[in-house]
Structure 1
């Protein structure tokens, strides 16, 4: 089992996809000061951040017409919507017709040797952020990526402006009452601010409005502890570079979080037990790193991060060295515990053909091996990991799937 090749790579080669159309561990993500932006809308971030591409898009008369039309819509909303929150949302969101119009224009101006072609080859494919579309033409990857980012903006506005139900209402819902007059005033100001930045690209007012909506709701969770490679995970990232992987049966020991239900409790009893189980495996030399996974989830809008509190427990109580602990402070569900761990293993340069170990209590351990894969398939659209051997009632093997790099458009707190 230890020589099993990563699950996705096998699947992709079975479909006849070439190695150049696979994600690359050496690819550095293009980041922005707003960590929430690039994590949710990576294509749109690239549109902004790649100078020649930005110049090309800003000079396109058809795309400029769309920007001017969107600006007119927002100005009309500011004049006429008053306290009607859905009215502002409608003006800022992309309509089905607008998404299609932009898709058609991008397809028309795309060429393999121009800036859009280079974008796909040099960024979209190697980043893995749109991995589920990599089995199509390069032009199709571009169009699908645009449609995903447009729908992601619409989803964010739908939940955090209009008050639509998110996937998990108990923990991720809007912070305001739609009947609150103050909230209507905030929404009006948000729409006005979306036009005050120096918008040159067709999507910028809508993206600005969505990002500000997350900020108003105190929902910038996707940016928690970032940049982690320069902060909470710096010691571990430096240690990864020096690790002799042949000395260990597994690459990591993953500890899924267990959020408390009381606001004043920082770390649940379940979290403590899981840390102790993982520490025991670490002390046996099973893996050089422990990944603690869990965001600010339970209870609603808690200020405590599961990953941070578990790391603190491991270092202060169990005396595990900091350079052996990797924080993953964004996962909000068990599905994304596995997915986000796979992402960090890939991004941090760990061997992708080496199994990891999940270490948790018995009930969750069997849930992860027996039930969770199909839930992941239903909710994420793919399997973020492949089961290996069951090692005990509390430990099992897993192999990462590089499809885990795919951005999730309808989870803006942990895309």
Structure 2
């Protein structure tokens, strides 16, 4: 006997299924002691940090055999690679065949009610870190997340060990010459270190190798100012909990950074002007918070953080209270100024169904409302925001898109 549901009931059922596949604002990320790790490789971090899941993976004979084979490859590389950097890199990276074999075993091991099933429902979906895959069935979502993290490790090793060209070579390239004998020695030592310790999980040698490579390159940018919730953003987070959002037309005022082009200048003239524009809007009562966004970007390997210097300028020069300023010190491009602002709004409990404002110079303001969305789609794979009204030559509205929580596998300095 067929059962026919009224149309409105089907709509409610569909909405319910969609809601199950959305990130949860109350979800707290499970963090390792290394912010670079959990921001780039969240699934692998969960594999380590969730005790019952960790135990399940360690006891899996197929994954253990893959891990043993991988360790043997690295040991062989230590004997034979000598000064060949790519030889070490290839030994630690995951081959296509290895990724496929691990995918197959995770698929075989997955059950809705076992630790892998709980991982998907309680963490992968709720966190939003793999939200581009939430239309997949749960098993496929797990496989997609694994493949993303494996490719992320390969990308990091490719750029920061083997010297591959990153997406933005002028600001993100490797710090070493591949022809330097000392660098070959450092790489061999890193490969050896990757096998030290327990390393009972199949991915740990590659993970350790990638993390140390970033450290050697002085590229732990993703960890800058972390943990921000108990540090630089703690005063604002305390204020968020007391904010009456109905009093303000906008949730936040975003200020995209503008890096100087010399290593001696802490804050560019463009950064100062943008702060002044945003301060005017804040003092008008347009929003209760200013988000200053920008990492250590320009010039190459600068020690100055755009967000930190803008926050300092707002407080010391413009007399804006620290409790009204949220630092976002990781963005390296305008695309991620927008994306990372949305992320912090979501993680900090700021309403994401309310419009926000961008305040910046005229040229960038119009760039954001015209060209940038398609650049975001090309580089990130989605639109992190939707344009609202243009308010002036220097201000415009935007609406957050929580797909911004998706980890970017090929930007290890700001994933």
TM-score (norm 2): 0.96
Describe the SS at the equivalent of 2:388. strand
2:303 is matched with: 303
Distance in 2 of aligned mates of 1:247 and 1:180:
60
1:151-166 paired onto structure 2 within 5 Å: 151-166=151-166
Q: How many angstroms does 1:352 deviate by? A: 1.2
Question: What are the residue-to-residue correspondences of 1:116-265 with 2, within 5 Å?
Answer: 116-265=116-265
Corresponding residue for 2:62?
62
The aligned runs of 1:208-357 (5 Å cut-off) are: 208-357=208-357
1:77 aligns with 2:74: no
Instruction: Work out whether residues 267 and 306 of structure 1, in 8 Å CA contact, stay in contact via their aligned partners in 2.
Output: yes
2:401 matched to which residue of 1?
Answer: 401
Provide the rounded CA distance (Å) in 2 between the counterparts of 1:261 and 1:123. 41
* TM-superposed deviation, 1:14: 8.5
- Looking at structure 1, the residues matched to 89 and 15 of structure 2 have their Cα atoms a distance apart, in angstroms, of 41
User: What do residues 315-340 of structure 1 show as CA deviations (whole Å, max 9, x unaligned)?
Assistant: 00000000000000000000000000
Please tell me whether the aligned partners of residues 342 and 400 of structure 1 are also in contact (alpha carbons under 8 angstroms).
yes
Whole-angstrom distance in 2 between the partners of 1:303 and 1:18: 44
Question: Who is 1:385 aligned against?
Answer: 385
> Which segments of 5 or more consecutive residues in structure 2 lack a partner in the other structure?
1-12
2:116 is paired with a residue of what secondary structure? Answer: helix
Distance 1:169 1:17 in 2: 42
User: SS at 2:23's partner residue?
Assistant: coil
Tell me how far 1:46 sits from its aligned partner.
Answer: 0.1
Contact 1:74 1:91 in 2 (8 A): yes
Q: Distance in 1 between matches of 2:138 and 2:391?
A: 42
Aligned residue for 1:213, secondary structure, equals: helix
SS of structure 2 residue aligned to 1:18? helix
Higher relative contact order (CA 8 A, sep 6+): 1
CA offset digits 1:266-286 (Å, max 9, x no partner) = 000000000000000000000
State how far apart, in whole Å, the 2-side matches of 1:82 and 1:298 are: 35
| Change over 3 Å in CA distance of 1:14–1:286 after alignment to 2 | farther
How big is the shift at 1:20? Answer: 1.2
Number of the residue aligned with 1:45: 45
Match of 2:4 in 1: none
| Equivalent-residue separation in structure 2 for 1:346 and 1:35 (angstroms) | 18
The ranges of structure 1 where at least 4 consecutive aligned residues each deviate by more than 6 angstroms after the TM superposition are: 13-16
User: Aligned with 1:218: secondary structure?
Assistant: coil
How much has 1:16 moved relative to structure 2?
Answer: 8.6
Whether the 8 Å CA contact 1:17–1:135 is kept in 2: the answer is: no
1:376 alignment counterpart = 376
**Distance in 2 between the 1:355 and 1:320 partners?**
22
Q: Structure 2 CA distance, aligned partners of 1:16 and 1:324?
A: 36
Unaligned runs of 5+ in 1: 1-12
Q: TM-score, normalised by structure 1?
A: 0.96
Count of residues paired in the alignment: 403
How far off is 1:198 after superposition? Answer: 1.1
Match of 2:102 in 1: 102
- Contact 1:58 / 1:201 at 8 angstroms: preserved in 2? yes
Show the counterpart of 1:5.
Answer: none
Cα separation, 1, equivalents of 2:127 and 2:301: 31
Q: How many angstroms apart in 2 are the aligned matches of 1:352 and 1:400?
A: 6
Deviation at 1:265, TM superposition (A): 0.2
1:412 aligns with 2:374: no
Cα offset, 1:197, TM superposition: 1.9
- Deviation per residue, 1:251-271 (Å, 9 max, x gap): 000000000001000000000
